[in-house]
Amino acid sequence: MEAQTPPPSPQPKRLVRTTDDRVIAGVCGGLGRYFGVDPVLFRVAMVALTFLGGGGLILYAVAWLLVPDEASGRAADARYILRRAGLVIGVIALCLLVFAGGFWAAAAGGGTIAAVLVILAGLALVAGAVRGGMRWLILPSLSLGLAVALVSAADVKLDGGVGDREYRPSALSDVRDNYKLGVGQLVVDLRGVQLPPGDRPLHIHLGVGDARVIVPDDVCVATRAQIGAGGVRLFGTGHGGVDVDSNNVPQAPAGTARVVIDANIGIGALLVSHTNSPDDGVGNRACAGTTS
C-alpha cells in the first residue's frame, strides 16, 4: 500500500500591494484582500482621513514604503526601502508644494480662483482614476482640493500684504479705524495715545497669523471676533477651535474710553492685553461689566 503524500501546508497570509486591484499603488487593495473585505472601505477611510488633517496621505505613504509589491514578492531589503523612501519623499514634497500653491492662489484670488482650482482638481482625479498612467495625479489633486476646502471653510483672504506689521501711534490722529494684513503678525499698540471718553472702533482683517492689540490700563475693550480656525485670548483668558464666533461686549463706566474691536481672522488668533504679554492675566479692569 502506497503511502499518501501529505497535502502541502497552507502558505501564511502576507500583506502585499495588489497589482490587479489598485488605484494608486495597491495599498487599499492589499488591505482588503488580507482582511477579506471590500477594499473600497479602506479607500473611503483614506480619503476621509486625508480631509481630516492629512493623516490619510501619511498612512498611505508609509504603507507604500513598507509593504512589498505583489508582483515582485520581495522582502523589503535596504535598497528597496531606499528607492521607496525617495519616491515617497518626492510625492510628499510635491503634495506639499501643490497644497501651498493652491492655498495661496485660492486665498489671494477669491471665490473665482477657488472654484477653478476645485474643477481642475476634480478633472485630475477623474483622469487619474480612469487612465492608469495618470494615477500619480490623485494625491496632488487631493492636496489641491484640501487646500481650497481649508481656505473656503476658514474664509482666508491674503490681501493686505505679507510680513509682520507693528503700529504704535503717538497721537489720536494716527489711530486708524482699519488694520489689514494678509500673512504675519499684526500689532496695534495704543498705549501711547490718550483716547477720549466714548467708543473707538477698531476693525482688524487678517488672513493668517496673530493680531495683537495692546491698550492702556484705563481703557475698556469690547470684542467681536470671527475666526475660521484659531482662538481669542483676552487679558489672559481665552478659548479657541474651528469657526470661532466670540463676543465680549462689556459696558464702560461714564467718562471712560472704550475700544470696540471687530476682528475677522482666517487662521490665527486675536490677543488683547494691557502689556506686551498676552498672558498678563489682569483682566479687562477698566470695564464696568462683561456680557458674552
Q: What is the pLDDT of residues 29-54, one digit of tens each?
A: 888 888 888 888 888 888 777 776 66
Question: What pLDDT does residue 35 have?
Answer: 85
Q: What does the alpha-carbon distance between residue 112 and residue 188 come to, in Å, rounded to a whole number?
A: 32
Percent of the chain with pLDDT over 70: 77
Strand partners, 238: 233
pTM over 0.75: no
Q: What is the DSSP letter of 161?
A: -
Q: Which residues contact 99 (CB under 8 A, 6 or more apart)?
A: 143, 144, 146, 147
Kindly indicate the confidence band of residue 1, based on its pLDDT and cuts at 50, 70 and 90. very low
Render pLDDT for 144-174 as a digit per residue (tens, 0 to 9). Answer: 777 777 777 767 777 777 888 999 999 988 9
Alpha helices (H) along the chain: 27-35, 39-51, 55-66, 78-130, 138-154
Q: What does the alpha-carbon distance between residue 250 and residue 252 come to, in Å, rounded to a whole number?
A: 7
pLDDT surpasses 70 at 140:
yes
Q: What is the mean pLDDT of the chain?
A: 79
The backbone torsions φ and ψ at residue 245, rounded to the nearest 5 degrees and listed phi first, read -125, 100
Question: What pLDDT does residue 80 have?
Answer: 64
Distances (CA, A) of 189 to 174, 218, 281: 12, 14, 18
Render pLDDT for 173-228 as a digit per residue (tens, 0 to 9). Answer: 899 999 998 888 999 999 999 999 999 999 999 988 999 999 988 899 999 999 98
Question: What pLDDT does residue 259 have?
Answer: 92
Question: What pLDDT does residue 292 have?
Answer: 42
pLDDT surpasses 60 at 133:
no
Q: Where are the domains of the chain?
A: 27-154, 165-273
Render pLDDT for 232-286 as a digit per residue (tens, 0 to 9). Answer: 998 888 888 888 888 888 888 888 899 999 999 988 999 998 888 777 666 777 7
Q: Which residues contact 81 (CB under 8 A, 6 or more apart)?
A: 65, 66
pLDDT surpasses 60 at 24:
yes
Region 96-112: what's the mean pLDDT? Answer: 76
